[in-house]
Amino acid sequence: MISKIAKASLGLVFLGSSSVFAQSLADAKKAIDAEQYQKAESMLKTLTTTQPTKDENFFYLGWVYIKQDYADSAKVVFNKGIAANPKSALNYAGLGAVARLDKDNSGVTTNFNQAVALAGKDAKPYTYVGLSYLLPTTADKKVTPADADAAIAVLTKGKAINAKDVDLLIALGDAYRSVLKSNEAYSNYSDASTLDPKNPAAKVATGVLYKFANNFDGSEQQFKDALAINANYGPAYREWAETDLRWSLTDPKMASAKIKEAVDHYKQYLSLTDQSVESQMRYADFLILAGDYKTLQQVATDLSKSASTNARVYRYLAYAAYENKDYQNGLTAINTWFQKADPKRIIPRDYLYQGRLQIALNQDSVGIITLQKALTLDSTQTDVYAEIAKSYFRQKKYAQAGDAYREVTLKGGHSVKLTDYFYEGISYYYGYDTKAPNDSLLTRADSAFSYVIAKTASSPFADAFLYRARVNDLKEKDRNNISGYAKPYYEKYIEVVNAKGAPDEKTKKSLAEAYAYLGTIYQYKEKDDAKASENFAKARELDPANKSAAAYFQRKGGAGKGK
């Protein structure tokens, strides 16, 4: 029989042992919050070995994998957690998160419902179901309104169970922030800070909220407050870096200084994490946002040398190589990414860069197909139509180029430029075949040039009048009984060009074309030989090789020379 003293001693041993394990889990959770994922992973792997019956250890290890974009590994670990405890609400929440990333809607519903059903009076499963809805699953990494609403609904239910769960309050604030409900977001962040004044995450979340309101000074102060609580809290520096980047884009005068500051803050963030491959990957994502492709190529090249690296490094290599005009290495890298990546990890932008690289290497036909694939997956990337149009134009497939530019002008919104309309018109003009006439091309060309002319009335765009004249000349069906559709546009072209002063050599030929056309109209339609001779003389003076002028004076037997 064990004595009372022995029982007491044994109890102390067990209590002490339990305390050590609990503290270890708490430390692992702190490492996750600080985005020290490699450290957290190592601690949690130890815990799942030493405490194989505690399902919570498995959940947090799986959550580390989720944060590192290893959904398949996370799924394995969550299932082990459920094997350890079939009523583990947290691990069902984890399986729901994996299902979301895998776009398995049925699995999302089943697992989240099970998590909530098993949660009882524990708000923590509600927190992670809510956070799972906030995981980015789109190419732009934005939370959809439907997902945000689902997160708000489940987190509100969790708040009713425990209104003092700081992690839940921050998650609820994040959900509100994602749908631009700033007051509600601030209220939850403020409640979290009041309940736990020493929580740096609540300060950082408030700073992010201010960032999106372009209150950059207020945002910086929140990050400083977070670092005053914990000088080694890496996420504060990461969010500070991303705030600097937004600041640089919002205020051009601050751009240079803020981009430099952003890079410095991100390096500080890296120094406070475990310098894992995943941290470097996040740095690579930041460099894409910052447009620093030279540094990105260096970082990605270094990462590719690691045996344990994530295949996603080939995406970064491809993007950087394209932007740095290293096209062949870029195409090799993007093709390797497509070979190695789980198809669920391919995003529309991957096809965009693959298509760009193919076109840059003169593989236009396959490149256009790839760009069209990118558009099929993400129709918001309207700039891609312009890239397709340029490729078609370069191949002299003018009608297709016109159609692509038409897509730009119809769907491009605020990013559409007048030059897009102009090239739409030029493409349709060159795409018109007099041997197999398609008058709809002329109609579209005329409409495009008309739009440019209307929008540049205060500062006339000469070439729009020139090409509109050419288009209208093609509308003449009877060359022996010309109507003069092009006359007002050639006249306006002459007026605009002459108002600008002496023309260059290229413009002289276009002016000669305009004068020769007017000469023809005066000769055959207006029957005014004096004006015909005057205009043909101007055409010949500007361009001695102009065929219409030469033919006119040849018929006249040289009359009018010197005029």
At 563 the pLDDT is: 43
Which backbone phi and psi does 151 adopt, to 5 degrees? -65, -45
- Are the C-beta atoms of 283 and 270 separated by less than 8 Å? yes
- Are the C-beta atoms of 276 and 306 separated by less than 8 Å? no
At 15 the pLDDT is: 37
Task: List CB contacts of 429: < 8 A, sequence separation 6 or more.
Answer: 398, 441, 442, 445, 467, 470, 471, 474
pLDDT, block means (10 residues), the chain with 563 residues = 35 38 78 92 95 97 93 96 97 97 94 97 97 86 92 98 97 96 97 97 97 95 97 95 92 88 92 82 87 92 81 94 97 96 89 96 95 90 90 94 94 88 97 93 97 95 97 90 95 97 94 97 94 97 96 77 45
Please give the structure tokens belonging to residue 70: 């290893």
- C-alpha closest to that of 503 among 443, 531, 548, 462: 462
Q: How far apart are CA 429 and CA 473, in angstroms?
A: 11
Query: pTM (2 decimals)?
Result: 0.72
Q: How far apart are CA 304 and CA 449, in angstroms?
A: 50
- Are the C-beta atoms of 309 and 336 separated by less than 8 Å? no
Radius of gyration of the chain (CA): 34
Q: How far apart are CA 110 and CA 105, in angstroms?
A: 9
At 533 the pLDDT is: 96
At 128 the pLDDT is: 98
- Are the C-beta atoms of 563 and 534 separated by less than 8 Å? yes
Which backbone phi and psi does 175 adopt, to 5 degrees? -65, -45
At 308 the pLDDT is: 67
At 307 the pLDDT is: 63
At 5 the pLDDT is: 34
What domains sit in the chain, N to C, each tagged with a CATH number?
A: 201-291 (1.25.40.10)
